[in-house]
Chains A and B, each alone.
Chain A
C-alpha cells in the first residue's frame, strides 16, 4: 500500500483511494463542496486543491489517487490563495440572502466563507437573479444560490436513478435545472435537499418552519419500514420539525426515503392518545392513571380466576421495541397465557429498489423481526406457527392489545371485532384507531421519538432509539405501563428499567446485545436469518 506524506505526517493509504480520503483518515480537513462519500467523484468545485510535490499546479485532493512517495501540503500560501479565489468566484452570483435562506446555519458556503474566504467582493457588476422554482413534491430550487457542485445531478443519476436533474447552459449562465415537463417526485427526492451544500434545493415541508440552530438532534431509527434507516430527529419545543438520514454503513448508507421523512408527522398529530380512557355506559371517558391500572388489572385477574388463563390473549404490534416485547412476553408468561401471545403485523407496501441499491422494504413497520425473535423465545414450540394468526383469538374473553401506529389495517379491523366481542379489551397504543374505539380501556403510550429501546431490522441489525422529548399530555412510556399492569396483577417483573430489560434480552436471545453495546451504527446480529445490509 502506498505511503504518502500529508503536511509532514506519513500515512499508509489504501490502494486506489484519494488524497482527500487519506487526509480524512489523518484528521486533516480539506474543504469540499462537490465531493460526497456516497456519490461518484466530480472534482468540479475546485476548493479542495492541494499542493503536491513535482506537480506544477494545485491538484484536486478529492480526485487525485494516492501514489507511493507522494508529498502533499494542504497549508501553504498557494493552497490558501486557491481557496480564497474559489470562494470569491462562488460568491460572484450568490445572492447572499442568508437571512431568509433556510440553509443558513448549516450552509457549507457560509462556513467556508468564514474559514477560507476573502471577506469582501471585487465584483461590481449586476448579479444574475433567478426566481425560485417548484421542482418536486417536496423540493424548491433557488437556482441563484447554486454553486454548481452537481451533487444533485449525480445523486439523481446514481442513487435514485431517475435522472431528473441536469446542468443547463454554459459559462456564467450555467445553471442546475430540471428537464422540462419532469418533476423530482421519486421517493428519494428529499435527500437532494440534504446533500445540497447551499440553499439551492430546499424542502417545502421544512421551509421557514425553524432556523436550524434552534433545533436539537436526537439519534433515532426511522420506523416507516423494516430497513430501519438511522436518522436524526431535529426537534424543538417538543415537536419534530424534520428528519435527516444519519450515515450508517450497516443499514442505510447516507440516504433515507421520503416515506420515512414524512412519517414524523404522526408523532405530533391530533390523533395521538393523550389521556387514559375507560368505557362507562358505552362511552369512552377520561380516567386517571391509577384508576385505569387498578381497574384493568382487576378485570384481568377476574378473567383468569373465572375462566382460566387460556381465556386471556396478548397481542403486541411490530411497533414495539425489543425491550417492550420482552416485558410484554414476560407478562403473558406470568399470567400463563403464552400460547395466546400474538404478533400484530405492520402495514404492507410495495418493495421499491433504487438504482443505487437503496431499498424500501414491503414491511412498513420498524420491528417485526425483533418482536418475533422475542415472542418465539418465549412461546411454546407448538403454538409458534400461530404467532401471526389473529383469527384464532375470536372468542377470547380478555384481550390486551399493544397497538402501534404502523400496524396493518386489516388486522386492526379483525382485532377490533374480537375486542368488541370480548368481555374486556385493554388497548394500549399511541394513536386512535378502530381498535381504540372498540376497547374497554385505552392506555395512551409513546411514539418512537419519545421512547428508549432497540429495534431489530429486517437484516438483524439491532439499533438503539433515543427519546427526544416526553409523550404528549398524560401519555406514558409503554415499557412502564406494561410493568405497572404486571405489578398490579401481582406478577412483578424481574427488571424495572429499559436498560435492565435490554441486558436481560442480551442474555436470553442468541446474537443480541444490550442497547449500550449497539453503538451509533447498530449491532449486526451474526445469527440473523437474513444476512447482509442495504448498499447505499
Chain B
C-alpha cells in the first residue's frame, strides 16, 4: 500500500531549493541538518556513572533517511533525544538546522521543537480526548496558525496518509497502525526541518510496519524530508538510506551519507 505525500516539504526557501536539487540528483553539496560533535551523556544510576554517549560525532545531511540502530543501552535513543532537544548532553555540541541546542534554554528548546522538529513516538502519544483531525491541528494551533489554514493543512496531511475518512475518530477508535499514521501526520503537518521517530514500528505488525515505512520513505524521497529513526528492527533499517549502528555509546558502524 502506498500513499501519495502532499507538499509537506521543508519550510525555508533554501530547503525547498535543496529538495529540488535532491530530486534532480545533481552533485551540489547539501546543508547538514544535524551536526553532533563529541557529544557525551552521562547518567547517574544509583551513584554509578553510566556513559550513555561517549563523544559521538555525526553529521546528517538534508534529505537523508537515517536509522540509528543498536541493542538496548547502545545510546541510540539518547542520541535521538539529544538531537530532538528532549534531553541535554554533558559535553560536545549539537546543532539542528544551524541552531546550537546547547545555547538554548528550556523555553527556546520548546520553540525549536515546535517549529523545526517533528516527532513520531513508539507509543503514538496522541491526545486521547481529541479526534485525529484535532490532534493534527493541535500543533498548528500551538504555532498560532489561523483556523481555516489549520483545518486545510490538517485535512491534507491526514488525506495524504490515507486517513481522510477517519479524521473525526478519536485515538481509541483507531488501530495501532492508524494511530501511528495520525502521529506521522501530526509530525509532518508543520513541515519540519527534521523528523525524528523513536522506534515508530515497535508496536505495529509487519504489514502495518511496511505501510508506515513506505509513507516515511515517500516523505523522504518525494519531499526531501530529513528523517532520523531509532530502531532495532532490520525491516526499518532496510527502508533507510543510511544506517548508523551504535554500541556502548559510540558509533560502531556508519554506512555513510548517500547524498
Chains A and B belong together in one complex: no
Chain B residues close to A by CB (< 8 Å):
none
Chain A residues close to B by CB (< 8 Å):
none
